[in-house]
Structure 1
Amino acid sequence: MGIAEIVLTTAALLIVVASVQPLARRSGLPFTVVLALAGVAIGLAAAWLQSHRVADQVSQVASAVIDIPVSSSLFLTVLLPILLFQGAVTIDARRLMQDIAPVILLAVLAVIVALGIIGGAVWLVAPMPLAVCLLFGAIVATTDPSAVIALFRDLGAPARLTRLVEGESLLNDATAIAAFSAFLAVVITGQDLDFWMVSENIVVGLLGGALAGLLAGRAAAWMLEQLRFYRAAQLTIAVALPYAVYVISDHYIGVSGVTAVVISGLVLSAVGRSRFQAETFRFFEETLEQLAFWATSLIFLLAALLAPRLLADVTLLDLLYLLVAVVAALAARAVILFGIFPLLSLARVTQKVTTQTKTVIIWGGLRGSVTLALVLAVSENFLVDPEVKRFIAIQATGFALFTLLVQGTTLSTLMRRLGLDQLSPIDRAFRSQVLQQSLSSVGSSLRSFAGRYELEDELVDQAIRPYNERLSRVAEDDSFAEAISDRDRLTVGLIALANQEKSLLLQQGWSGGLRSALVDRYLLSVESMIDAVRSDGRLGYLRAARRPYRQSRWFRFIAWLHFRCGVNRPLAIYLGQRFQFLLINRIIILELIYFLEFRLAGLLGDRLTEVLGEIVNLRLEEVERHLIALRLQYPNYARELDHEVLERYAYREELEQVAQLRDAGIIGEDLARDLRVEAGSVHASSRRSAKVDFKATTPELLHAFPVFAALSEADLERVAKKLQTRVVADDAHVFRRGDPGDGMYFIASGAVEIRIGEEQHRLGRGDFFGEMAMLDQRRRSAEVRSISYSHLLFLPRAAFDEISVLVPEWRSQLAEVAAARRRMNEGEKEESAEKPAEDPPKETPEELREAQPEEIDGDAGEESPAPVLKLQGLLKNRDGDG
């Protein structure tokens, strides 16, 4: 069969695919089921025409259809990689990673249980060795990813459950193919069945493929980052990735190519979106969707064409074996869903699944592309015994056709009978509010349109009457108020805000507002906010929103390097990224306030909009508190970042103006492209790399300390030049008892805890400590620990002595404060000795932090309700050295 005939036949099959799609919609059957029916019908018709030789030309057409070169390599190497890659990219990998343990458990365990039950059941009735029956079990153990994903989306299953099953349906192909390869090797060589060797091969293949996919995905993400402004190059890299990964892993490294493709797709799903521009990523998704549609369609159609030939010599006994396999497969899925899922639910690693949903999942286990490809792999292998080939071909092909033609055609009926095709109660009630707003908008827009073009009022009334009637019916429907509780409506509103925040964040990321790594971290935070809303309402939403501000272990480590070893660069990079994060976070939250007022208010009502506004304003206040502290500490860096934001906004507006002129037809695509390139080059040349300067201590910042109030501007300039910035992590020691008195500290932001013996005190912004050891020329008499993320200004001993000489009154003021503290401390000790009463319970560091739930990373200012002491109260309850 020549190249021209192959191309012509493929084109004809694609036309059939295009014709089948509207037929599937009208019939209400899944598209793959109708496609399989069409393929079987075409295959039967071609075989009949070829055998009866109606006419030479017709016989040639029939031969072209029957003899089209279809092989397992075509399925596994050309069509399957893009299908799996598209499914992996479509899944939200950030949230899937939260459930990766149960996903892997289901992906591996479900296949092993299925192949064991199916193979064992068939071995009991069929005259075939156990290895052959287990080979057949591996072929039919895995469900078709596209069918399963489409099924769950149609079901409207809970989001977390959908992620579990989607991830399992993608990863179980790798397990099935690895098991297939191991059992096929046993069948070909005739060796005894060694389950330990088979298990070892499966594990090595899966782990090796996962590592290869991870490395390939990260490399592709890096390349996409470098090619951000080259759309064609980015798309080329993304489409070539699954094929390169599959071939290298499967044919050269000897690990699971399927696993490698899926993992690389999940990596791009997690970090790829922030590497594309908005328009490019949408086009990338559409391109993958189209390629996956062609791959799925050709797989099912070509496999269905082969079905009549593979089932040519079927017998009644074969039908009996097939019936046993079908029952065993349903039982295997029941074992997973009714045996394993409840255990996962009890362990709180997955949500509970209703019996109705489990029933549909069991019956919806459609087999497709992988099953038929593995059948061909056995049929093409000349080392396999012909009787084994016949058995595998009949049983596996018949099994796949049964799931498609019997289970697939009855699936929608089963869903309707179980009531799984209906909207959830919240969606049904919320539907009236959405309809009311949209119908009102349609009516006003229609009248505006008619007035603009001077259409007859009578025609306008006729056109608008159905909408008014529907609007009246919707207005009388009070199911929204009755069916949805305040908590449910609040949940809907918070999830809408989180989704809008995700959209705004990606816009900022595409414009260069944040580094890709920060965008990825922010996106994961937003997803956590959505999950927290569903489980804990607004409190969960606020806790998840605060989580990015907290210190990580990495921050604790680099803060220790900065404070103890003088290594500043890692901390400077971290603080710079934190500053950018807070700045963009503030912009996005302000956009959320606008979105809430102008988009959600009409749907949710005034009272709920007010509550949501209070929640968003809480977030805004927290972000601004952190920003104020950083702006005080690094004013020059803050100004540079503000300038970058304005420059990026101007660049985005310039591109928008060019796009509007192009869409209006005022300029052509060539001129628009030239203008975009020029704007991009100007934008790139104007970008500056702002850096955090740890020496940026200004007189304005020192005004926050009452102890500097009497100094002149010139004296403040001298002090500012001597101060050093120290950033201290939560629960990190500033100094310990007995350490040298090498300087004193001023708290720019944050809070510290001072301990002398059994006594504890806390100090916050505007306070100072450590001066007694300086004045008395002795070692530290207290232990000081940061109880939040704290910015401290450190004045070394040499600088202290120098400033004391230049400004003698300042040293005198500190000496008076120190003397008063000593007297106060001695008085407290005497009073404590005279009253040997039971000591009050001491607060643990954890209790101290829990007493300030609204504080994130410290910044304990005047608004804080926590008992943070100020300089004015030092003479009453302050210990000696602090």
Structure 2
Amino acid sequence: MPISDIVLTIAALLVVIACSQPLARRSGLPFTVVLAMIGVLLALAAKWLLYTTITDQFNEVASLVIDIPVSSATFLDIMLPILLFQGAVTIDVRRLAKDTAPVILLAVLGVVVALVIIGGAVSFVSSAPLVVCLLFGAIVATTDPSAVIALFRDLGAPARLTRLVEGESLLNDATAIAAFSAFLALTISGGKFDLLNVSSTLSVSLAGGIAVGLIAGRVTVQILAWLRSFRAAQVTITVALPYLIYTLANNYIHISGVVAVVTAGLVLSAFARSRFQSETFRFFQDTLDQLSWWAGSLVFILAALLVPGLLADVQVSDLWITLVAVFAALVARAVILFGVFPILSATRLTQSISTPTKTVIIWGGLRGAVTLALALAVTENPLVDPETKRFIAIQATGFALFTLLIQGTTLTALMRWLGLDQLSPIERAFRSQVLSQSLSTVKSSLRNFAGRYQLDDELVETAMSPYSERLSKVAKDRTFEETISDKERLTLGLVALANQEKSLLFDPRWSAGVPHILIDQYLLAVDAMIDAAREDGRLGYLRAARKPHKHSSAFRILGWCHARMGINRPLAQYLGRRFQLLLINRIMVLELGVFLDTKLKALLGDRPAEILGEILRQRQEEIERHLAGLRLQYPRFARTLDHALLERFAYREEVEQIDNLREAGIISEDLARSLIGEAESIHAVVKPRSQVDFRATTSELLVSFPVFSELSQSELDEITKSLRTRVFADDAFIFRKGDKADGLYFIASGAVEIRIGERVVRLGHGDFFGEMALLAETRRSADIRSISYSHLLLLEANTFHKLVKAHPHWRSRLDEVAKERRAMNEAEKLAKEQELAKLVAIVTKPDNF
């Protein structure tokens, strides 16, 4: 068949596919089921036109449909990789991780159980050998979830139900195809079934696919980061990736290409988004969605065109075998869902799944293109005997048609009957609150619009009347106040804040230039906040929000290397990243405050909004405290990061202004491109990477203190020899009020917090403390603790008193410093006493009673 004819036929089929969407919506059937029906009808019509004696006018058109060169490679090598990759990239990996056990059970154990039960049942009612029956079981164990997922989304099915079916589909095909390859080899060789050999082959294939996918995914993530400014290059890399991995794995490494593609897609889903600019990521998603829609639609309609040919030799007895196979498949899925899942739920290895959800998963196991593609691979293989070809072709095709035409067409009714198309009670109650706000906004906007363009008042009232009626009905609905408690509203608000924080994190004004590892770390923290808010409310949310601020075990190792071995660079890099994380964290929390006031408050009510505001204030205070310590510790590095943030914001504002002028038609596309290119060239200038300004040497540090400025070098050397190193972690107390004065402390690096009553003073790099108790020979008068990783130098009490006696002028200088600090403390104490006295006078004034 000429290439031009193939192109013509594919183009015509794409037009048919596009026109089928409205038909699917009106009929209420899954789109892929409609495509399968249309494909079968097209094939039957083409055969009738080609062989009828009525007319020969349409023979050429009919031959284009019948003779189109569709093989198993068309489905498995061209269509399947992009479909699998798109499904893996778009799934929420972090949410899917919560359902790892059920997904693996459905996809791996479920396939094994299915092929065993189906193969065993078919072997009892047919004359085919057991190996051929198991081969058939592997072929029909591949579920095609595209129709089901589209239906779930249209009906508003629970997100977890959709996630389970999506997760199953990603690994299901991999397991089934690997099993298919093993049983096809046994069928061709005529060997006996060896469970150990089949199991080892499957294990190697799956494990190899996972390894290759992980490596390819991580390498691609690094390439995407390198190509961050080149949209076309990034999208090209990601579209080429599934075909590159699939072909290498299948044809050259001889492992599961399906598993490799799925694993690579999951890696990109987890880590790639922060490597794209926000506009590029949306373009990338849209591109993958469109490609997968074309591929998925063509797969169904092309596979359907093959159905009449595959069923050419069907007999009545074949129908009985197909029905037995379908029943066995339903039983196999029921065994997993109703037999194994309850055990896992009881042992807390997975969340429980409701009976309606299990029922829909069982009935929703539709088979489609992959099943027909594997059957086609058997019929195309010259080493397979004709009887086996006929058996596989008829049974696989009949099985797929039953699931599509019977299960697919009744799935909507089943879901509605089970109530899975309904909102949860909380969402139904929350709906009235959302409607109230949105309808009020629509009415206000409509009135402003009419006033601006001086439209007739009567027409305005007519247009507003439907909204007024709906608004009055919503106003009478008290389910929000009655159904949703304050605790539930608070949980809704916390989840909304976390989701908004995730969205803000991808705003290039804030996140551009932030290392990808920090964005990934932040995303994990936000997901943990969502889960913790749902499970433990505000306490869980705050606990998860504070977790990124705590130092890891790696930090303690780096601190030990710094203090004991003098290795500074790893610790400096760690603290620099921590500083950047806190800066972006601070911006996010401040932006969340605006979001709370402008969006959430009207939806949740005053009391929940007040509590949410207090939670955000607690987060901000925590962040500010850590930041204050780091700013004191690394002042130059802090200024560098602040300057970089301002530069990024200015750059994004400049680009946005140019885009606005272009969209308004004020400037041309060419001028806009030139201006953006100029802004990018300035922004893209590689600046020298700044690092934390780590501690100075001891002698340099002492010279910087005014109290040591008059000492000679020999005296400084003497003091340097007397100093002892002390290292304190974040939040560690250096000493407490009432402790015995052990010496004078100098801050080589880090920051400390001095708390005297309610008064808090923070000191950083180059400051000293602890002299007052030594000079007055009293106990400590305040609590002092480290507020970051602090490297201190201790001049012990005995050595201090020796130096004071030996250097009276040094003693006098320390006395001056101590006097200044004591006077400051007394002044603040007096001010507080006067303020308290005024308050007492106002309260006790007779006029107040």
| TM-score under structure 2 length normalisation | 0.86
**Per-residue CA distance 1:29-51 (angstroms, 9 max, x = gap):** 11111111111111111111112
Amino acid in the other structure paired with 1:26: R
Asked if 1 retains the 8 angstrom alpha-carbon contact of 2:330 and 2:362, the reply is yes
Unaligned runs of 5+ in 2: 735-741, 755-760, 776-784, 816-827, 829-849
2:793 is the alignment partner of 1:794 = yes
Q: Contact between 2:580 and 2:641, CA under 8 Å: does it hold in 1?
A: yes
1:793 counterpart letter in structure 2: L
Match of 1:22 in 2: 22
Change (3 A) 1:799 1:87: farther
Per-residue CA deviations over 1:141-164 (Å, capped at 9, x if unaligned) read 121142344355456565556544
Shift of 1:711: 4.8
The answer to whether the aligner puts 1:620 opposite 2:588 as a matched pair is: no
Encode CA deviations 1:75-98: one digit per residue, 9 max, x unaligned. 011001000110001111234345
Equivalent position of 1:524 in the other structure: 524
Kept after mapping to 2: 8 A contact 1:725/1:791 = no
Counterpart-to-counterpart distance in 1, 2:808 and 2:151: 81
Amino acid paired to 1:345: S
1:324-383 residue CA offsets vs partner (Å, 9 max, x unmatched): 100000001101111122222223232211111111111111111211111111111011
Cα pair 1:726 1:793 within 8 Å, conserved: yes
Secondary structure of the residue aligned to 1:56 is coil
Kindly report which structure 2 residues correspond to 1:672-821, keeping only aligned pairs within 5 A, or say none. Answer: 672-685=672-685, 687-695=687-695, 711=707, 728-729=728-729, 749=751, 790-795=789-794, 808=808
Whole-Å separation in 2 of the counterparts to 1:802 and 1:263: 68
Instruction: List aligned pairs for 1:327-476, cutoff 5 A.
Output: 327-476=327-476
How far apart, in 1, do the equivalents of 2:191 and 2:509 lie? Answer: 57
Cα offsets for 1:251-290 (capped at 9, x unmatched)? 1111110011111111111111111111111011011001
Letter in 2 for 1:792: H
What is aligned with 1:567? 567
Q: Summarize the Cα distance change of 1:806–1:432 in structure 2 as closer, same or farther, 3 Å threshold.
A: farther
Measured at CA, do residues 634 and 8 of structure 1 come closer, stay the same or move farther in structure 2, by a change above 3 Å? same
**1:84 correspondence with 2:110:** no
CA contact (8 A) 1:83 1:292 kept: yes
User: What's 1:186 paired with?
Assistant: 186
User: Where does the alignment leave 5 or more consecutive residues of structure 1 unmatched?
Assistant: 703-707, 735-740, 753-763, 776-785, 816-861, 863-882
Structure 2 distance, partners of 1:471, 1:153, is 27
- State the secondary structure of the residue aligned to 1:794: strand
Structure 1 counterpart of 2:834: none
Map of 1:845 onto structure 2: none
Q: Distance in 1 between matches of 2:510 and 2:275?
A: 7
The Cα of 1:74 is off from its aligned counterpart by: 0.7
Deviation readout 1:384-430 (Å, 9 max, x if unpaired) = 11110111111111111111110000000011111111111111111
Q: 1:795 to 1:279 in 2, by over 3 A?
A: same
Alpha carbons of structure 1 residues 765 and 342: separation in structure 2 relative to 1, 3 Å:
farther
Which residue matches 1:66? 66
Q: CA deviation at 1:220?
A: 1.1
Q: Is 1:641 paired with 2:641?
A: yes
CA–CA distance in 2 between the matches of 1:368 and 1:744? 74
1:241 matched residue in structure 2: 241
Distance in 1 (alpha carbons) for counterparts of 2:656 and 2:716? 49
Identity %: 65
State the distance in 2 between where 1:599 and 1:273 align: 26
1:664–1:811 distance in 2 versus 1, CA, 3 Å: same
Give the Cα–Cα distance (whole angstroms) in 2 for the partners of residues 800 and 145 of structure 1: 77
State the partner residue of 1:738.
none
Return the offset for 1:729: 4.6
Kindly provide the amino acid, as one letter, of the partner of residue 10 in structure 2. Answer: T
Give the conservation status (yes or no) of the 8 Å contact 2:443–2:467.
yes
Say whether 1:273 aligns with 2:273. yes
Distance 1:606 1:730, change over 3 A: closer
Distance 2:811 2:236 in 1: 69
Secondary structure of 2:42 counterpart: helix
| Larger deviation, residues 250-259 vs 790-799 | 790-799
The correspondence of residues 656-671 of structure 1 with structure 2, limited to 5 A, is 656-671=656-671
Q: Contact (CA 8 Å) 1:694, 1:724: kept in 2 or not?
A: no
Report SS of the residue matched to 2:422: coil
Change in 2 beyond 3 A, CA 1:509/1:353: farther
2:640, 2:232 → 1: CA distance? 33
C-alpha change, 1:211 and 1:713, in structure 2 (3 Å) is same
Q: Partner residue of 1:547?
A: 547
Give the Å deviation of 1:792: 3.2
| CA distances 1:847-878 after superposition (whole Å, capped 9, x unpaired) | xxxxxxxxxxxxxxx9xxxxxxxxxxxxxxxx
SS in structure 2 of the partner of residue 202 of structure 1? helix
- State the superposition RMSD in angstroms: 3.5
**Residues of 2 paired with 1:21 and 1:32: CA distance?**
10
Q: Which residue of 2 aligns with 1:823?
A: none
**Matched length:** 781
Map Cα deviations across residues 822-864 of structure 1 (whole Å, 9 max, x no partner). Answer: xxxxxxxxxxxxxxxxxxxxxxxxxxxxxxxxxxxxxxxx9xx
1:599 maps to what in 2?
599
Offset, 1:445: 1.0
Distance 1:451 1:788 in 2: 58
Cα pair 1:278 1:510 within 8 Å, conserved = no
Please show how residues 152-301 of structure 1 align to structure 2 within 5 Å: 152-154=152-154, 156=156, 159=159, 162-301=162-301
Cα deviation, 1:695-740, whole Å, max 9, x if unaligned, reads 26999x99xxxxx9x959989x999997999765579999xxxxxx
| Counterpart mapping for 1:483-522 below 5 A | 483-508=483-508, 511-522=511-522
How far apart are residue 166 of structure 1 and its match?
A: 2.2
CA distance, structure 1, for counterparts of residue 231 and residue 190 of structure 2: 53
Q: Which amino acid aligns with 1:63?
A: S
Structure 1 residues 156 and 465, CA gap change in structure 2 (3 angstroms): closer
**Aligned-partner Cα distance in 2 for 1:619–1:41:** 62
Matched letter for residue 423 of structure 1: L
Measure the CA separation in 1 of the matches of 2:26 and 2:170: 29
- Matched letter for residue 405 of structure 2: L
Any idea what SS the aligned residue of 1:383 has? coil
8 Å CA contact 2:228, 2:276 repeated in 1: yes
Query: Using the alignment, how far apart are the partners of 1:624 and 1:806 within structure 2?
Result: 43
Q: Matches of 2:697 and 2:457 in 1, distance apart?
A: 71
Alpha-carbon displacement from aligned partner over 1:500-549 (angstroms, at most 9, x marks no partner): 10011111487524111110111111111111111111111111111111
The answer to whether the 8 Å contact 2:107/2:168 transfers is yes
Say whether the 8 Å CA contact 2:366–2:407 is kept in structure 1.
yes
- Counterpart of 1:356, as a letter, is P
SS in 2 for 1:685: coil
Choose 640-649 or 511-520, whichever is displaced more. Answer: 511-520
Q: Distance in 2 between matches of 1:670 and 1:806?
A: 77
Output the CA distance in 2 between the equivalents of 1:800 and 1:29.
87
- Secondary structure, in 3 states, of the residue corresponding to 2:793? strand
Report the secondary structure of 1:220's partner residue. Answer: helix
Give the distance between the partners of 2:731 and 2:135, measured in 1 at CA. 58
Shift of 1:300: 0.5
CA distance in 2, matches of 1:799, 1:158: 71
2:312 aligned partner, one-letter code: A
| Contact 2:372/2:400, CA 8 A, preserved across alignment | yes
Distance 1:768 1:201 in 2: 68
The letter of the residue matching 1:791 is: S
Evaluate the alpha carbon distance shift between residue 285 and residue 802 of structure 1 in structure 2; reply closer, same or farther with a 3 A threshold.
farther
Contact 2:85 2:262 in 1 (8 A): yes
What is the TM-score when the length of structure 1 is the normalising length? 0.83
* Amino acid in the other structure paired with 2:210: A
